[in-house]
Amino acid sequence: MKRPRIAVVGSLNMDLVVSMPRMPQVGETVHGTDIHYIPGGKGANQAVGCARLGAEVSMIGAVGSDHFGREMLERLQEEGIDLGGVHTAEGPTGTAAIFHTAEDNCIAVVPGANAYCTPELVERHRERIESADVLLVQLEVPLDTVHRALEIARQAGVRTVLNPAPAKVLPAPLLSLADILTPNETEFALLSGEQDTSEEVLRRVMIAWQQDYGHTVILTRGRLGSSWLDEGERLRTEPALPVETVDTTGAGDAFNAALCFGLASGWDLQKAADFACRAASVSVTRFGAQAGMPRLEEVPER
């Protein structure tokens, strides 16, 4: 059977994860319990997630010439990811400082070499996008790079998934190039300008949004699972699995990877979204974003 082919354009970061009993208040010092150096970045995390599930994955991005960059490439190569589209730039690899508790996390990102993931780099490796079943992009690389990748995919008839994270306001021409948008509730509130997350308001806002931009919105909602509109414009929600949470870092990346795997495998939206919820539920039971990405046989049936 043909393996699904997924192209990922995005960031590669080294995550510095500090574990602590609770988040500090402004001006407060809290003693951490552990620090870990873990390969991450939304692009790399999602590429690993797709590969672990069994997809043939091509990564387009950039790392630095430092030790972190070499370690990132070694780890991704071990996952069987095609790294021919990853550029090594002089200077530091992107880094993310992650403050982690049992309940949640907060993150500060320093882009570093991700700035070298340019439209020109994407153009040089456009065949990796054109030969894919699905293109997956996020927002930790320059916006004009994301825009160019989506343009190439649209011209080639390749289905696109835009994960609008980290949260930022996006231009309409870029949004209109995406086939599927996968914001979390915070990201969608920023994009839509609507803070009310009640079911009826969400339904109304999502209907108007999809009419404006011509794509499908799949809203990720943490423990609630994910929501989208069915053909009758009814808000449909697939719940997350009841699990014991260890680390929520990378849960959204696991969701997007599994969603793209399902879509690239030819599944319908409901089946792909349900599978993505189950994969994300597994990911939060493990520490570390990439380490938490499940393999296909580890995703339980509902």
- Secondary structure of the chain as H, E, C letters: CCCCEEEEECCCEEEEEEECCCCCCCCCCCCCCEEEEEEECHHHHHHHHHHHHCCEEEEEEEEECCHHHHHHHHHHHHCCCEEEEEEEECCCCEEEEEEECCCCEEEEEECHHHHHCCHHHHHHCHHHHHCCCEEEECCCCCHHHHHHHHHHHHHHCCEEEECCCCCCCCCHHHHCCCCEECCEHHHHHHHHCCCCCCHHHHHHHHHHHHHHHCCEECEECHHHCEEEECCCCCEEEECCCCCCCCCCCCHHHHHHHHHHHHHHCCCCHHHHHHHHHHHHHHHCCCCCCCCCCCCHHHCCCC
Q: Which of 66, 82, 247, 253 is catalytic?
A: 253
Q: Which of 106, 1, 91, 10 is nearest to 49 (CA)?
A: 10
Active site residue 253: yes
| Residue positions annotated with a catalytic role | 253
